């Protein structure tokens, strides 16, 4: 369907029941994102931003409402199908790079392709191209411990984008970087995602990072509102 959104979240609710009183973290969240759109979500610590990202990426289950990515509802898939759908359509970037320290940058970026059974040589070719787009062509065989913090985060971004996902979810992607490294990493993320036509959601505390997105929303008392 030509006008099908990349992401469609409707009346999403989430509560945690640990402790004496249930805590409603998200209530009636509505969100739609099409290809090429970028959105920043801002909010105080503990406001539910990471919980929302997990729900949008199918890593957690909502207590109500629905989340569809590329036309399929996470709640209608079993865990194996969810994993395959994530690998095909969603890329994740976190504040901590979560790279495998014993593997080279090239092998780390090729990993999502190998998971979908892409032959090793083809996976490495695509991974090398992505790393070059990230300005890391001379770092292909370096392990994470041999890279700077900014370089490690760019490897993590390359890994998220290498499968050409339709949706990129970035949770504080520059939170551990200084201003210069942050700007470089954000430039790479947004430029490559835009070229691929990805929809991008960035959770951030940084107003400068949020300003780079087309739209900014604030999560307050479990609901999204214009920032």
pLDDT at position 2, please?
Answer: 52
The pTM of this model reads 0.89
Q: How far apart are CA 201 and CA 67, in angstroms?
A: 14
Q: What is the mean pLDDT of each run of 10 residues along the chain (227 residues)?
A: 82 84 86 93 83 93 93 94 92 86 96 92 96 92 93 92 93 82 87 90 88 92 83
Q: How far apart are CA 85 and CA 58, in angstroms?
A: 9
pLDDT at position 206, please?
Answer: 83
Q: Give the up-direction half-sphere exposure of residue 178: CA atoms within 13 A in the CB hemisphere.
A: 4
For the chain, where are the alpha helices, taking DSSP H only? 49-56, 79-89, 105-115, 120-133, 149-161, 179-196, 207-211
Q: How far apart are CA 170 and CA 168, in angstroms?
A: 6
Q: Find all residues with CB under 8 Å of 174, minimum gap 6, and list them.
A: 153, 181, 182, 185, 186, 204, 206, 209
pLDDT at position 1, please?
Answer: 45
Query: Is the four-CA dihedral 169, 37, 183, 44 of positive or negative sign?
Result: negative
pLDDT at position 17, please?
Answer: 79
- Three-state DSSP class for 38? strand
The DSSP output letter for 192 is H
Specify whether the CB–CB gap between 5 and 166 falls below 8 A: no
Q: Find all residues with CB under 8 Å of 37, minimum gap 6, and list them.
A: 6, 199, 200, 214, 215
As a whole number of Å, the end-to-end CA separation of the chain is 31
Q: What is the pLDDT of residues 84-128, one digit of tens each?
A: 999 889 999 987 778 999 999 999 999 999 988 999 999 999 999
Domains of the chain plus CATH, in order, are 7-226 (3.40.50.300)
């Amino acid at each position: 369907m030509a006008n099908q959104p990349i992401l469609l979240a409707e009346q999403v609710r989430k509560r945690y029941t640990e402790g004496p009183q249930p805590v409603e973290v998200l209530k009636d969240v509505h969100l739609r994102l099409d290809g090429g759109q970028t959105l920043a979500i801002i909010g105080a610590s503990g406001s539910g931003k990471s919980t929302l990202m997990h729900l949008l990426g199918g890593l957690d289950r909502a207590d109500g409402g629905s989340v569809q990515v590329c036309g399929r509802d996470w709640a209608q898939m079993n865990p194996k199908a969810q994993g395959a759908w994530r690998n095909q359509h969603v890329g994740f970037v976190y504040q901590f790079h979560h790279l495998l320290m014993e593997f080279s940058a090239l092998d780390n970026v090729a990993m999502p392709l190998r998971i979908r059974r892409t032959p090793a040589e083809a996976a490495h070719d695509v991974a090398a191209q992505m790393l070059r787009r990230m300005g890391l062509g001379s770092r292909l065989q370096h392990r994470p411990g041999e890279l700077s913090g900014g370089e490690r985060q760019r490897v993590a971004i390359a890994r998220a984008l290498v499968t050409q996902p339709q949706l990129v979810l970035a949770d504080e992607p520059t939170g551990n970087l200084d201003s210069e490294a942050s700007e470089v990493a954000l430039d790479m993320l947004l430029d490559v995602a835009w070229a691929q036509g990805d929809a991008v959601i960035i959770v951030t505390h940084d107003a400068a990072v949020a300003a780079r997105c087309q739209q900014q929303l604030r999560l307050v008392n479990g609901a999204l509102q214009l920032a």
